[in-house]
Amino acid sequence: MDMYTSLPNLYLSLEKTGGLFDIDATLPVLTIQFFLLVQILSFLLFNPIQKILKQREQEIENNLKNAQISLEEVEKLQQKIRRILQAVRERHLIRSREVEVKRQTAVIRSKKYMEAKVRDTREAMVKNYITTATQSSELIPGVVQEINRYLRVRPPINRV
Q: What proportion of the chain, given as a percentage, has pLDDT over 70?
A: 84
User: Domains of the chain: which residue ranges?
Assistant: 25-139
Phi/psi of residue 91, each to 5°? Answer: -60, -40
pLDDT at 142: 85
* Rounded Cα–Cα distance for residues 132 and 140 (Å): 12
* Rounded Cα–Cα distance for residues 106 and 113 (Å): 10
pLDDT at 34: 92
Task: Tell me the pLDDT tens digit for each residue of 20-77.
Answer: 555 667 778 888 999 999 888 888 888 888 899 999 999 999 988 888 888 888 899 9
